[in-house]
Amino acid sequence: MLPVEDQQLERLEIELLLEAVYRKYGYDFREYAYPSIRRRIRRRVMLENINTISSLQSLILHDREAFDRLLADLVISVTELFRNPEVFRWIREHLATELRETAFLRIWHAGCATGEEAYSSAIWLEEEKMLERSRIYATDINRAALDRARGGRLSRDRVPLYESNYREAGGKSELRSHCEEDEDGLRLSAGLKKRIVFAEHNLATDGSFNEFQMIFCRNVMIYFDSSLRERVHRLFHESLAPGGILVLGGKESLEFTSYGARYEALSEKYRIYRKIS
């Protein structure tokens, strides 16, 4: 462990680095959980073969490619098609009938990474005959991840996992029926992609851009400190229609936020909540 004086200096360097990232590139990591952000910055310093965080700050301010490498470290882009399939099965079994009564369904996947979760929603909506009157908004701060998401490719080595997830999530057909053959594996169908809008959005700084009947934000806020989590919950509450559904990650909760009383738990096990006030 570093001496106290060195810890204080390191923290100052990290704060200045994150301030530089925000002012130069518009990405705000200043309220992310410190232990996690510190670990990733230290890793980038080592990989860049430099000695100090201050040197990393100078590097990323003058070299966009160096900043992109740091950004890839700071943004967690881990996802899969029908991740935690029991959550999607619960939604299909308990909410499909209700959602079918909505004239036009808007769903927001916040922090969508490479888009697999948004495509998962598109697939089950198609199978429940709701996709044609739905619009899915999938947002992230990582441009490279969004570019991959727009491609809709499924690598061959991941297809068996995705097929298993699809079946466990209550899929009514075969996953491949929602795909087209691609030289590198499978590509999700054009019919799914046309119902999804992929766009850059920063939960730390950007505001609401529509009213939604359902918002997914799973395992994103675990990297935020309490102040930023509160901001994001305010954003989601403002963005949800009356009676709208909020789906969080398994390690997340409305507990310890000022918004807990404004929702009822539809499934505490799967972190699914309804806005009531």
CA atoms of 167 and 184, how far apart (whole Å): 23
pLDDT attached to residue 214: 98
Q: Is the pLDDT of residue 26 over 90?
A: no
- Strand-pairing partners, residue 134, are 105
Q: Is 217 helix (H, G, I), strand (E, B) or coil?
A: strand
pLDDT single digits (tens) 136-194: 999 998 888 899 999 999 988 889 999 999 999 999 999 999 999 877 778 999 999 99
Of 76-85, 165-174, 240-249, 260-269, the poorest mean pLDDT is in 76-85
How is the chain split into domains, by residue range? 4-74, 85-275
CATH topology of domain 85-275: Rossmann fold (3.40.50)
Q: Is the pLDDT of residue 247 over 90?
A: yes
Which of 190, 191, 92, 197 has its CA nearest to residue 135? 197
pLDDT attached to residue 183: 74
pLDDT attached to residue 78: 67
The contacts found for 52-57 with CB under 8 angstroms, 24 or more apart, are 52/13, 53/10, 53/13, 53/14, 53/17, 54/13, 54/16, 54/17, 56/17, 57/13, 57/16, 57/17, 57/20
H-helix or E-strand spanning residue 110: strand 105-110
Average pLDDT over residues 192-207: 95
226-258 per-residue burial string, b: 16 or more CB within 10 A, e: under 16:
eebbbebbebbbebbeeebbbbbbeebebeebe
pLDDT attached to residue 72: 85
pTM: 0.85
Token pair for residue 97? 């009938």
Specify the higher pLDDT residue, 2 or 105.
105
pLDDT single digits (tens) 222-242: 888 888 999 999 999 999 999
Residues 6 or more apart whose CB falls under 8 angstroms from that of 156 comprise 184, 185, 186
Token pair for residue 28? 């705000």
Percent of the chain with pLDDT over 70: 98
pLDDT attached to residue 223: 81
CA atoms of 166 and 176, how far apart (whole Å): 10
Q: Is the pLDDT of residue 3 over 80?
A: no
Q: Is the pLDDT of residue 77 over 70?
A: no
